[in-house]
Structure 1
């Protein structure tokens, strides 16, 4: 059983030279060990396949870490049913790092998502017929576990000069300076993931990049939550 468009969560993100959209399809199912979030990533024909594969690995790892939301947050009908979220992701263009926009887009769609409550008259020892489940007329936002934000840097040291840290590098720079770091940070400076390729400076350089990633996450997360609150206030004006 699915839900109609009123509960849809969607997002559009343009960040770090990449543009991504995400639309969430929510379906009811009995509680099980199956994944509750299933990313389905498509990309424009001109986007290299290896970039899409790398992005898929990153998303699946964050989902496995419950970085976006927990299983409990999607349970309904007294814990007997759960919402399964199919994330329909489209990568429209890439001129730089893809994971930054992708991570922001998924988080934004989940913050935007609204779902109804489900209820059933079935006894606890009787399997639930999904087609007979009742859905509430009211919708609510889910409780996100975190708002992960990815930041990509290139580290470059010109001869006889200090280390340079380049944020949001375009595609050409990856070929010129292959030393890169991708840092995924959540609320309260929680580090979900650090990927490093090549030599990215000393410990102080890494600390500086982490500090910048934390600052970006705070700005992005606050912007998402403010947009959500603004949308809720506008909705109340119609009643």
Structure 2
């Protein structure tokens, strides 16, 4: 997504024509992908008031804070986009995971027990090494990990026409999208989805396509992204 020229040019057109004061992003990772792509797309004379980007892995969050120091308006946050118990319940009962063979054109990260795979992802058990484990221990012992950061920020800026970028964890993209759609309701906002051919957002993309209150500005099936405007 971040390297797609159409994606970059579409962002610059939006930011040139409309003032976007607030960005809410899920999935910072190291801060070197979509976060920097959006930060660079803003006109130098008209940056946003705040660009919130949420990461659940404390090691990645810590690295991202360093990588994003150049942009003072970027506010990296550590915590859960939705409450962990809600995310785990969603994954456990997700029809698309239990019947993934019915979605042959949808990419998922594993065909072998995907419910357990995405449960482990939400619980932070994937790809751990001793450094990440040590940082996790420090965070759990001494820091306050916040939950429901996505909805908290949406409520805080629901009247500001925010831009919401969902680069979600694999198993909860549809849950995050529903959180945005239901929380912002009939208010205007911008929406970016990453991985619209993946389990995380194939349903989100289809929902946007079929709703009269959304206008798709640009998308790429090949690169798996969509930019849309929600109309008031």
User: Higher Cα Rg: structure 1 or 2?
Assistant: 1
Structure showing the higher helix proportion among its residues: 2
Do Structure 1 and Structure 2 share a fold, with TM-score over 0.5?
no
TM-score by length of 1: 0.25
